[in-house]
Amino acid sequence: MSQAKEELRWALIGASDIAKTRMIEAINSQPNSRVAAVFSSNAERAKAYAAENKIPKPYDSLKTLLEDPEIDIVYISTTNDLHCEQALAAAAAGKHILCEKPLALSLTDAREILNAAQTAKLVLGTNHHLRNAVTHRTLRKLVKEGAIGKPLAARVYHAVYLPPRLQGWRLSRPEAGGGVILDITVHDADTLRFVLDSEVEDVIARSATQGLATGGMEDAVMGVMYFQDGVLAQFHDAFTIKHAPTGLEVHGTEGSLFAVNVMTQDPVGRVVLRRDNDETEIKLDPPEDLYVHSIRHFNQAVLTGTQPFATGADGFRSLAIALAALESTQSGHRTAVAK
């Protein structure tokens, strides 16, 4: 049905902050897509959110929304515990799915989503925004071209201060999939896999609770991912760090790449190549909004059969790495990443 259409109608599952601050604008920015409906579990919130964001149809029943024949694609951005059942319902209704990370809370659930989308021949994407950034795409290209020789190590620093408006379920509801590992480490995992074009074999991590998280959850973590080709990648993620920049480095036999201010939602940051003591600023293509890039690729996948920029399988892999990190913080041991 959708393949013949010129305009794709998206529905939001979840009256969320991320949809309001980034995704609605990104979807509506495309000439071939627009947000047509929103579902919230609360009827008043659905109506208020729809009015505030100029969305024509508010729904407080997911079933009714999924029965709406106008809807081609759903964007799921509810709390993490709801992604699986909502994605399965969307797949059963024949809607293409862009799901927020983490795809689910277990690999069994994530596998079920992948299978349901594949069986129904639907496009399934994971909204890992970072790989959409021109900085990360450039890093991947440079690594692939051999600009730094053989990669040996990487370092991600992604420790930020969780904005007060987001200091809710992430810090207080473990059953909703809160905690910094499922929120931020999962993004690091995807970005490192993308930049290095390699898979993680195992993870060792140590977490801490530094004053924001409750309920036994972590709000800070450091660790090491070991990649199949021997690359060691160090990561530091936190909700508690107020004054640090973010970044990603890759160190190889012939050079090092430093990407500064790049673990962020905005199309900013710079990339520097360092060989011996010489530093070269890499000229980047014009930056595009990360979420617009993601939506553009998703629409194209629905219309032409290409792949979303981050697929469902990518969401499965990043979740497997994040869950291994979480398990390692609990056991104190190095943990193999499930295949």
Binding residues for ligand NDP (CB under 6 A) = 14-18, 40-42, 45, 77-80, 100-101, 127, 129, 166, 168-169, 183, 265
Residue 183 structure tokens: 């929120």
Q: How far is the CB of 237 from ligand NDP (least distance, A)?
A: 13
Specify the residue, 319 or 324, whose C-beta has the smaller distance to ligand NDP: 319
Q: Which DSSP letter does residue 176 get? A: G
Considering only CA atoms, which of 325, 152, 317, 319 is closest in space to residue 223? 325
Residues listed for the chain: 339
- Least Cβ distance, residue 17 to ligand NDP (angstroms): 3
**What's the number of CA atoms in the CB half-sphere (13 Å) around residue 173?**
12
Q: Which is nearer to ligand NDP, 78 or 246 (CB)?
A: 78
| Residue 92 or 166 having the CB closest to ligand NDP | 166
Could you tell me the smallest distance in angstroms from the CB atom of residue 100 to ligand NDP? 4
Comparison of 148 and 323: residue with beta carbon closer to ligand NDP: 323
Choice between 257 and 263, CB closer to ligand NDP: 263
Provide, rounded to whole angstroms, the least separation between the CB of residue 129 and ligand NDP: 4
Greatest Cα-to-Cα distance within the chain, rounded to the nearest angstrom? 62
Whole-number minimum distance, CB 258 to ligand NDP, in Å? 23
What backbone phi and psi angles, to 5 degrees, belong to 76?
A: -95, 115
Closest separation between CB of residue 318 and ligand NDP, Å? 11
How buried is residue 331: exposed, middle or buried, by Cβ count under 10 Å (0-12/13-18/19+)? exposed
Of 151 and 177, which has the nearer Cβ to ligand NDP? 177
C-alpha to C-alpha distance for 125 and 144, rounded to whole angstroms: 24
> Cβ closer to ligand NDP: 99 or 324?
99
Parallel, antiparallel or unpaired: strands 57-59 and 33-39 = parallel
CB of 223 to ligand NDP, least distance (A): 19
CA distance 78 to 129: 17
* Both tokens assigned to 127: 């909204």
Q: Give yes or no for a contact between 128 and 187, defined as CB atoms under 8 angstroms apart.
A: yes
